C-alpha cells in the first residue's frame, strides 16, 4: 500500500516538484494563513 501511495504522489508531482515527487518530507511545513499545523515530517 505504501508503495502505491508513493507512486501516486510521484505521478501527481513529477512535473511540479520533480525533486520531491514520490518522497516523504524531510522538513516541517506550514500553511500560510491557516491555523492548521500539518503533522511533523
Q: Where are the domains of the chain?
A: 1-41
What mean pLDDT do residues 7-13 have? 97
| pLDDT reported for residue 7 | 98
The model's pTM is 0.68
DSSP 23: S
Residue 1 gets which letter from DSSP? -
- Residue found under cell 500553511: 31
Q: Would you say how long the chain is, in residues? A: 41
Q: Rounded to 5 degrees, what are φ and ψ at 27?
A: -150, 160
Q: For residue 8, what pLDDT is reported?
A: 98
How large is the average pLDDT for residues 8-13? 97
For 18-40, the pLDDT digits (tens) are 999 999 999 999 999 999 999 99
The pLDDT confidence band at residue 1, using thresholds 50, 70 and 90, is very high
State residue 9's pLDDT score.
Answer: 97
Amino acid at each position: 500500500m505504501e508503495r502505491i501511495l508513493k507512486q501516486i504522489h510521484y505521478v501527481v508531482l513529477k512535473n511540479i516538484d520533480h525533486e520531491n515527487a514520490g518522497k516523504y518530507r524531510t522538513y516541517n511545513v506550514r500553511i500560510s494563513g491557516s491555523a492548521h499545523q500539518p503533522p511533523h515530517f
